Amino acid sequence: MGRFNENFDQAVERIATDEAYKLLRKVGIFDPDPKCRLLATRLVEFAALWMEEEVSVERFYQMLAVAKTNRSKFEGLNYALGLRVSQGKKLNEAMVAWISGILTKEVSIPASKGGHEPKASTARDVLLVSAVKIAMTFGLPATRNPASESQCAIDAVVLGLSKLEYDVSYTMVENAWRRRAYLQEYENEIPHL
């Protein structure tokens, strides 16, 4: 039992000290307001813009290709780029040209096309699933066994994120874990933690 407790403690510590989770606190990924969470979902798709020190011109052009066709992604890219500017991170020539185009209104906002938009909780839930997967690498089962009182990866996520002052519950994380098949389509858009 001692080894299991040690693994649990290591999983909690890994999540509680993860820089990506600390940064995501700033963008409202766990905010109770669904509008704030929806904006965070849009922003997380372009997390490289505000989380990474260097973003290549090619990678930025890939992001632009996505943002130019979808109003919600357009807003997310611009918000992420704004965070990059406010953090004083280096802008490459493509970023400067894009910002200039936005400010001079040479770049137009794409029309709304309806269609499937991610739920406000999508980015939060993808991050919770990612955290459960991290905790599982420490040998913890994903969920509790109702017949025992042993701790699981979800418990480690709840405890680790609570140390970062996120308001999460076992049920919230478990519900995200149950939706993981649906969330897989978004998983590649969010940086690995």
**What percentage of the chain has pLDDT greater than the value 70?**
78
Give tens-digit pLDDT for 71-89. 778 888 888 898 889 889 9
Give tens-digit pLDDT for 1-17. 455 578 899 999 988 88
How many whole angstroms separate alpha carbon 186 and alpha carbon 101?
Answer: 29
Domain ranges of the chain: 2-28+118-187, 35-103
Max mean pLDDT range (9-18, 23-32, 106-115) = 9-18
Nearest C-alpha neighbor of 52 from the set 60, 41, 61: 60
Task: Tell me the residue type at 110.
Answer: P
55: left (phi over 0), alpha (psi -120 to 50) or beta: beta
Average pLDDT over residues 118-127: 74
Higher pLDDT, 72 or 193: 72
Kindly state the tokens that stand for 28.
């409202």
Nearest C-alpha neighbor of 4 from the set 151, 111, 124: 151
Max mean pLDDT range (23-27, 87-91, 147-151) = 87-91
Task: Tell me the residue type at 24.
Answer: L
pLDDT at residue 187, rounded to an integer = 60
pLDDT at residue 192, rounded to an integer = 44
Average pLDDT over residues 153-175: 91
pLDDT at residue 49, rounded to an integer = 75
Kindly state the tokens that stand for 166.
């996120």
Kindly state the tokens that stand for 42.
């849009």
Q: For residue 188, give the H/E element and its range.
A: none
Average pLDDT over residues 20-49: 70
